[in-house]
Amino acid sequence: MIGNLKPLEIVLIIAVILLLFGAKKLPDMARSLGKSARILKSEAKAMKKDDAEPAAPTTETVADTPPPATPARTIQAAPGDVTSSRPVSEAKPTTQS
């Protein structure tokens, strides 16, 4: 289908896209699309890696590792942005008089 488009038609399509979304929003949209593609690719690699590893740990491994005290929470800067996530500790409630 794209082989049937003439140069004038391609220019008109690009002009309509610029009018609809604006020149300022297009780089942001492309950046978020790139982030989404990278996240999807890394998740797919992680799933393949998980499938390659043995499913059940041995009993020696389970017996030697102590249980975690409390699970660590992670705060993410944006949904799906794994590069800027960091673990945080829970704040204890304080009472004020």
What pLDDT digit, counting tens, does each position of 29-50 carry?
A: 889 999 999 999 999 999 988 8
**Residue of higher predicted confidence among 5 and 41:** 41
Residue 9 is predicted with a pLDDT of: 92
Cα Rg, the chain, nearest whole Å:
24
Element (H, E) at 16: helix 7-21
Tally Cβ neighbours within 10 Å of residue 38: 13
Whole-Å CA distances, 72 to 36, 69, 90, 93: 25, 9, 8, 17
Q: What is the pLDDT of residues 41-89, one digit of tens each?
A: 999 999 988 887 765 555 555 556 666 666 666 555 566 555 655 555 6
What the block records as the tokens of 39 is 């996240």
Q: What is the per-residue pLDDT for 36?
A: 95
